[in-house]
Amino acid sequence: MSTDTVIRPERPDQPEVRALLNALDAYLASLYPPEANHILDVQALVASDVRFVVARVQGRAVGCGAVRLMAAEAETGGVAYGEVKRMYVAPAWRGQRLAEQVLDSLEQQLLSEGLDRALLETGRDQTEAVRLYERCGYGPRGPFGGYPDNGLSVFYEKRL
């Protein structure tokens, strides 16, 4: 990571960060019908059960991600977990491992909360995201958290 890159907890309701989230939303809307996009809006991202981080390069917001602290459920074998949400790196900044660094920061947040399992749902057509999660040690799993098995979603899990 460049000495000019910083990844830290920040609020998602800043204009620069909203622009990243809006770009992510537009990208997802270009791939999937609205009912297949399981998006946490900015209001949900400021909730007390969400940890949100921003990647900045020379002070400029270029990426973000969140984890939502989740209670145990039958689909997770009765174990609480963190759900990875809203991962995004601006296209001009891709290829520099920023997404891996954001994901690592989120995983560290989960460990500091006493959670050792990260789960996520992503779209099957997001090939870059699928490659990222697999490269970072996430393995396939079944649906969780009330997500439908709609043929468009893929589900991943990692023990931290």
Residue 1 has pLDDT above 50, yes or no: no
Confidence band for 144, pLDDT divided at 50, 70 and 90: very high
Mean pLDDT of 143-152: 92
Give the residue extent of every domain in the chain: 5-159
Contact assessment for residue 159 and residue 111, using Cβ atoms and an 8 Å cutoff: no
Residue 130 has pLDDT above 50, yes or no: yes
**Model confidence over 109-128: pLDDT tens digits?**
999 999 999 999 999 999 99
Mean pLDDT score of the chain, rounded to an integer? 95
Residue 2 has pLDDT above 80, yes or no: no
**Model confidence over 10-42: pLDDT tens digits?**
999 999 999 999 999 999 999 999 888 889 999
Cα-flanking dihedrals φ and ψ of residue 73, to 5°?
A: -150, 165
Work out the burial of residue 62: count CB atoms within 10 Å of its CB; fewer than 13 is exposed, 13-18 middle, 19 or more buried.
buried
Q: What is the pLDDT of residue 34?
A: 86
**Model confidence over 80-118: pLDDT tens digits?**
999 999 999 999 999 999 999 999 999 999 999 999 999
Contact assessment for residue 54 and residue 7, using Cβ atoms and an 8 Å cutoff: yes
Between CA 61 and CA 70, with CA 64 as vertex, the angle to 5 degrees is 155
| Three-state secondary structure call for residue 127 | helix
The structural architecture, per CATH, of the domain 5-159 is: 3-Layer(aba) Sandwich (3.40)
